[in-house]
Every structure is written in C-alpha cells, then in structure tokens.
Amino acid sequence: MENPNGGGVKMNKTCDQCRQRKIRCIVPETPSGSQPRCTYCIKRGIPCYFSVFRRKARFRVANSLPASSRPSGKVALGELFVDRVLQHGPQDVVLSDESAVFTSPDEKVPSCGLAFFSEQKVASLNQRIGNSRVQDVVQRLDDFILNRLGIPDASSWPPIPFHKPMKRERITSEEATGYIQAFFVNLHPVYPFLDREEFEAQAFDPNLTAFLHHNPVFSALYHCILALGSQFLGCGTFEPGKGRSWELFQVAISHMSDIIIPRESIESVQALVAMSIYAMNSCALQLDGFFLSHAARMVVELRYHKNVSSEPKHLRVFWVIYALEKQQGMHCRTCSIIPDEDIGCVIPPFPEAQYENFNWFVSLIQIGRITSIIYTSLFSVSASLRSRESSQSTIEQVHEMLEAWRQSIPAEIRPGSAAQFPVSAPPSTNLAALHIHFSYYHTIIALDRLSLYLNRDGGSKAQSSKQRLMSTARTVIELTKHIDIQPQVPMFILAVLPVSAVFILFDLVIHNPFHRESRTNLSLLDSAAGYFALMGIASNHSMPGSIMPEFTHIAREYFWKVQHQKGTVTGRKKSAAEAPPEDNNTMEKPVVAQEVNMKGSPSYITGSPTFQMEPLIPSTTTDPGIRVARGCSHPSSHTGSVDSDYLEYPTPIAFDAASDFQIGESVDLRTLFGWGFPAGGTSMMTMDEWAADPMNFEPAAGVGELELGTDCVGHMQGT
C-alpha cells in the first residue's frame, strides 16, 4: 500500500489492529489523499493505522553480548524484555491486544479469566458443535459490552461528563447523616481508608456549607462518601446518570481538576480512593481503573510508602490503595504502579476489619502481594524470556505461597469450598468474605490455565490443573447465592468471576460430554443461567443477563444430542449382536453416527462445510498413530473409556513466537473484545426464538424422553 501522503513510503497492507488480531483486513476504496480505514475499525469506531512496512533486520550478536547470545532458557540477572529491544532492535514476540477482554490470541495465556475465546478456539468449538452458535453469542456479547462502555461512535450510552449536575435535590442533614452512617457500617470495614472521627468532625460541622465551598477537595470526598452510603439505602442504580447516588457522585467528580492539578495532599488521595471504590460498581464501568491509577500515582509521589514521618491516616490510605491496585493489575493484566521493592512502611491496625482473631483487610494486602509476584514473574512481557521449566517451578512456589496464605484464614471462612462461607452475615462481612474468596479463585484460575499451557503434553500435573479448574469454577458458581445483586457490589464479584466460571464449565461440558461430572456441571450452568437472568432483570437489562444463559443452552443441547446418539448407536450394536447373521460370509458393516432430527425443534446443523459436525460418538480406534493424527492427548479420548476421571480441556496449540511460550496479554473492562470473527455460519437460534423462552434449558422434545442404553447410563453414573 502506498502512503496516501506521498513520499514513496511503502505501508503495510494490513492495519495495526488487524495485524495484532491476525484477521483479514478489508479496506474499501478510499478517495485519493484520504486516510484509508478498514471495515473492522469502521465498525468498532476505533482509529485505523497502517504502519510503515519494514523488513526485520537480522542481527549477528557477538558472544560478549548478554541474553540473546546465550543458550535458550538462560536469562541475564535482572534482564527485562526492553533490554533486548534497546540492544538488538525489534524482537519476535506476540504483544497484547489492549482492546480485548473476552478474546485472546492463540499464542497467549492471560492472567484474566475473561480473555477466553481466541479465533482458533471459537473455530474449534464451531467444528465440534456443528454450528456457529458460540461465535454468534460471543459476538453479541462483544457488541453489547462495547455499546455499554460507549466505545463505538454510535453507542447509545453517552460518555460520563465531569461537571456538576444541572439540577439536584438538596440533601437534608438527616439524610446526610444516614448516608454517612451507612457507609461506615457497611463499606468502610471492607476498605478502611478513613479516620472516622476526623471525617465526621468535618462532615457534621455547623459551618459545613461554607467549608465545602472553600475546600473543593473535601467537597469531592464528602459527596462521594454520601454517594457510596446512599447505595445501601436504595438510592443507587446499575446505570450511569440515574438515581440520587449518581447525582452525588457527579458532584464529587466535578471537582476532579481541583484534585489532580494542584500539589498532592492527603485529602486528594482520600477523595480519589472514595471515587475508585465507587467506580468498581457497574454504573461507573466506563471509569473503571481511572481514579485508582491516579490515586496510586499520587500516593507514590507523596512517599507514604517509605516516609518515616507517615501518620496513621497516611498509612491507612496507602495500604487500601495497595490492596486495590494490586488486585486491579491482576484482573486487568497490567503491571502495578506501586513498586513493591520500594515499600518500607508498616501496616497500621485496622480494627474495623477485625473478625475475631482474623483481620480481613490484612489478608487482602497479603494476597495483593502474592498476585503482584505472580504477575511479574509469570504474566508480564519480560516473563516470556523465561524457560518453560523455570515457569513451572515458579508456579509450584506460588501455589505453596497461596496455600500458606489460605491456611492462615479461619477454617469457617477459608477459601476452597462454598460451604466455608459466613451465613447470614452483615453486608460488610459478606462483601469482605467474597473479596477474599474471589481473589483466591481468580488467582487459581490464572495459574492453572498457565499450567495447562506449560504442561500441554499431558501428564499428572495437567490433569490436576484441569480438576482444580473444574472445582474452582463450581465453587464460584455455588457462591453466587451469597451475592446480593445490588448496584454497590463490585463488578469483579458481581459478574467478572462468575462469567469466567461459566466459560470454564461450558468448555468442560462440550469437550467431555460423557464424563461422570458433566451432569453436575450442567446443573451448575443452569444455576449460573438463573443468576445472570436475575441480574439482567435487576439491572433493567443494562447488564448482559440475557446473553450469558445462552452458553448453558448450547452446552445442554449438545450434551443431550450426544447422549441420544450414543444411546442410538448402543442399541443398534446390541440388536446386531443378538440377531443371527443372514450370511456368514457377510462382513459386519461399521455403524455410522446419524444426525438427530429432534421433534419439535429446528435443525441446528448448518449446511456450511465450514461447520460440519465432528462425530459425536467416540470411536473404537486403538491405533496410536490415528489418535495422534486426531490431536488426542490421552488414549481414552477416542475410545469407549470416555467416562473416567480423565478430563479433556483445550489449550493453545499455535505457537510461533520466539520464546517457548508467550504470555502477558493485557485487558481492561473499559475496552472489551476488540476483534471480529470471520463472516459466515448459521445461527442455531434467532434472537426472537431465544427471547420467547430464555429460561428453557431442557432438551428438545424427543431428546429428554429417550431411554439411554444401559452402558450409557452406567457410564454417566460413574459405574
């Protein structure tokens, strides 16, 4: 492609966005002199850039140079990826698609459980199921979230302004007192960043109005505390711009310029922390991470992390920012702003977070440090320089750290089982327990997905990771019964980790339809579907509650179709064995799997050759060469022994990067999917059909009534 600005510079034929996603870049005809834009970037409403075409130079590195001249697997002490770039120029590495959340390249294992569907993986699911339903659902989920975040130019959700509301109701002193008390009772024990006596002395001052007028920073903190507390009294919503809580929050963020432009102060940091807590909720999803990054930068500038003269209120706000920012980095797959190696301050007492002899918040700080170690050593760009053996050893070490941390928590509230959770606890205890449990499960999911990648050749370690993934996903879904679907619940707890758990169980059911645990996994997917359906109703459809249950519908439909076909084939084999042969010289003909035509339901098998359904019934092939050709990693994958404890779970297989494995992909809830699927394929069910009965997860007519063969029933019951 020629440079439209002239100069004879040759441009790449594929834009930067499409090159990162490895998808086809279609550029419509562009008038002479105009900047070309591909159809993908036009649809997404994102900038479209075509980089200058450069041939990669081949460097002959002398033996005296570090790192790149050494044998593979050896890395210089303290060497980072940027060191290689500075010394030797461009490197072969798969970089991140910063505009993706639910999708990820095939060559990467991200730290976030949402980055789940690569193009290769979706194509594999299409082939296995026999249609493009998964592709269609993921695409709809992509479009919904992008629209919800206001990313496309034509989004129906307007951007969040940073000015005071035009009209707002006056808050009486009684209402303000109620909001402040609600905050300190329900939320402050989870995020204890304020000195309550000091704040209330200012908030209840008789000259408060004049003080707020002359001190815009405290006004921001004051109104944000009111906004947070009012959510617990029914004044919050799931949507931005609605409700009294948002009105108060709008007043708070209107002082943003007074907070970040002048010199840093403790009041500015406190105001940013309060805004960060509010922005973790669904109504402020567009601002997720914005205030927290400013707070982390400011607290480092103020030296609270290593100043000998730091006061208790300085230490309080620092450690709250630390705990939130470390978790945010792991969730969004970005390095922390706060340098752990430069921290020298003590942890002050947090009596608000005390649970008998256990302190919730100190435990959150501890797992924040563990996740920081995990991201730096396993999921950063520089971690891709490490050998596979080194990363496997690191995973074992951090598992030991996580287990030691888990054992430090009282047994009745210890992560690891849904039964170990406080029942009928006050909101602050319930929210703190969910933070503890979900932080642990999210970390386990990230480690085990990476472990599966590193141990993709199979073995006991890979099988242990699959079993642990299944157990963790089940526990997360079981814990959704303790989640109060309210606007004040953080998005990570309300939706992010439950969505990740659904993705895991969905994969397990699709790839293991005859496993003894598949029925239980389907039941839990039903529970998750009900949870998300309630979320959609409670949020007035501002959350994708009607889309997530479709994963359950796809899994259940595929499961019953496979069971029916197995029962049919088993019955035919049994009849053939009992019937006397008509001709002894006639050879037995192979049984061919037949497509199920379910009564009362549309045929979902597409006629497109791209999505021809794989044989649903496991063959009896025993030739190891054939098993390898099929990509089978375990002998039972294509034999009759498919109901054992062995689990199939897909791992990336396209690795063409320089290092043994490439990780460190980045994601942010403000910028979701960001890559498109190739056109084509037929949807299994239209939107109108799904909307007519979104909670119908029973098998189609004729399938639920079939009587499975004795062997099939025995297999499913684990006998």
Same domain, 330 and 181: yes
Query: Is residue 130 over pLDDT 80?
Result: yes
Q: If pLDDT is split at 50, 70 and 90, which confidence band does 333 have?
A: confident
Token digits for 399? 């598992």
Determine whether 32 is exposed, middle or buried from the number of CB atoms within 10 Å of its CB (0-12, 13-18, 19+).
exposed
- Does residue 236 contact residue 226 with C-beta atoms inside 8 Å? no
Question: How many helical (H) and strand (E) elements, i.e. helices and strands, does the chain have?
Answer: 25, 4
Distances (CA, A) of 267 to 219, 314, 395: 10, 10, 40
CA–CA distance, 81 with 392 (Å, rounded to integer): 20
Whether residue 260 is contained in a domain is answered as yes
User: Given CA atoms 510, 512, 517, 518 in this order, what sign does their dihedral have?
Assistant: positive
Same domain, 183 and 325: yes
Query: Is residue 478 over pLDDT 80?
Result: yes
Token digits for 226? 């009111």
Whether residue 266 is contained in a domain is answered as yes
Of the candidates 388, 386, 387, the one whose C-alpha atom is nearest the C-alpha of residue 457 is: 388
Whether residue 88 is contained in a domain is answered as no
CA–CA distance, 447 with 139 (Å, rounded to integer): 27
Supply the pLDDT for residue 78. Answer: 62
pLDDT digits (tens, 9 = 90+) for 245-272: 999 999 999 999 999 988 889 999 999 9
Distances (CA, A) of 590 to 249, 558, 561, 622, 710: 69, 24, 21, 15, 21
pLDDT digits (tens, 9 = 90+) for 339-393: 999 998 999 999 999 988 899 999 999 999 999 999 999 988 888 888 889 999 9
Q: By mean pLDDT, which of 16-25, 155-164, 476-485 is the weakest?
A: 155-164
Supply the pLDDT for residue 43. Answer: 82
Supply the pLDDT for residue 77. Answer: 52
Q: If pLDDT is split at 50, 70 and 90, which confidence band does 66 have?
A: very low
Q: If pLDDT is split at 50, 70 and 90, which confidence band does 221 have?
A: very high
Q: Read out DSSP for 513-563?
A: TTSTTHHHHHHHHHHHHHHHHHHHHHTTTSS-TTTTHHHHHHHHHHHHHHH
CA–CA distance, 167 with 517 (Å, rounded to integer): 56
For a pLDDT cut of 70, what percent of the chain falls above it?
68
Query: Is residue 50 over pLDDT 70?
Result: yes
The whole-number average pLDDT for the span 499-521 is 91
Higher pLDDT, 711 or 439: 439
Q: Which one of 323, 348, 373 terminates a domain?
A: 348
Distances (CA, A) of 247 to 15, 184, 235: 42, 20, 10
Of the candidates 471, 470, 553, the one whose C-alpha atom is nearest the C-alpha of residue 504 is: 470
pLDDT digits (tens, 9 = 90+) for 556-571: 999 998 888 776 656 5
Same domain, 184 and 325: yes
Q: Read out DSSP for 550-601?
A: HHHHHHHHHHHHHHHHHHHHHHHHHHHHHSPPS-TTSPPPPP-PPPP--TTS
Scored b (16 or more CB within 10 A) or e, 177-211 reads ebbbebbbebbbbbbbbbeeeebeeebeeeebeee
CA 703 to chain centre: 34
Supply the pLDDT for residue 220. Answer: 96
Supply the pLDDT for residue 656. Answer: 29
Query: Is residue 473 over pLDDT 60?
Result: yes
pLDDT digits (tens, 9 = 90+) for 657-704: 222 222 333 334 333 332 323 333 333 333 333 333 433 333 334 333
Q: By mean pLDDT, which of 106-120, 442-456, 663-677 is the weakest?
A: 663-677
With a CB cutoff of 8 Å and minimum separation 6, the contacts of 154 are: 45
Scored b (16 or more CB within 10 A) or e, 328-349 reads bbbbbbbebbbeeeeeebeebe
Whether residue 194 is contained in a domain is answered as yes
Same domain, 208 and 334: yes
Higher pLDDT, 601 or 554: 554
The model's pTM is 0.72
CA–CA distance, 556 with 685 (Å, rounded to integer): 14
Q: If pLDDT is split at 50, 70 and 90, which confidence band does 153 have?
A: low
Side chain identity at 562, as an amino acid letter? V
Token look-up 């006397």 returns: 580
Supply the pLDDT for residue 669. Answer: 38
Distances (CA, A) of 630 to 401, 437, 625: 39, 39, 9
Supply the pLDDT for residue 54. Answer: 55
pLDDT digits (tens, 9 = 90+) for 620-629: 333 333 333 3
Supply the pLDDT for residue 640. Answer: 39
Task: Assign residue 39 the CATH number of its domain.
Answer: 4.10.240
Whether residue 16 is contained in a domain is answered as yes
The whole-number average pLDDT for the span 201-220 is 94
Q: How many domains are there within the chain?
A: 2
Token digits for 332? 């969004």
Same domain, 47 and 191: no
Supply the pLDDT for residue 190. Answer: 96
Whether residue 28 is contained in a domain is answered as yes
Determine whether 424 is exposed, middle or buried from the number of CB atoms within 10 Å of its CB (0-12, 13-18, 19+).
exposed
Whether residue 621 is contained in a domain is answered as no
Supply the pLDDT for residue 134. Answer: 86
Token digits for 608? 């497109």
Question: What value does the mean pLDDT of the chain take?
Answer: 75
Supply the pLDDT for residue 91. Answer: 60
Q: If pLDDT is split at 50, 70 and 90, which confidence band does 596 have?
A: very low
Q: Read out DSSP for 231-264?
A: HTTT---SSTT-HHHHHHHHHHHTTHHHHHSS--
Side chain identity at 579, as an amino acid letter? A
Whether residue 198 is contained in a domain is answered as yes
Total number of residues shown for the chain: 719
CA–CA distance, 278 with 405 (Å, rounded to integer): 28
With a CB cutoff of 8 Å and minimum separation 6, the contacts of 435 are: 190, 360, 364, 493
Phi, psi torsion values for 83, nearest 5 degrees: -65, -40
The whole-number average pLDDT for the span 122-150 is 81
Higher pLDDT, 230 or 15: 230
CA–CA distance, 66 with 609 (Å, rounded to integer): 51
- Does residue 92 contact residue 381 with C-beta atoms inside 8 Å? no
Return the DSSP state at 663. Answer: E
Supply the pLDDT for residue 621. Answer: 37
Reduced 3-state DSSP string for 327-386: HHHHHHCCCCCCCHHHCCCCCCCCHHHEECCEEHHHHHHHHHHHHHHHHHHHHCCHHHHC
Alpha-carbon Rg for the chain, nearest whole angstrom, is 28
The range of the structural domain enclosing residue 205 comes to 169-348
Supply the pLDDT for residue 24. Answer: 80
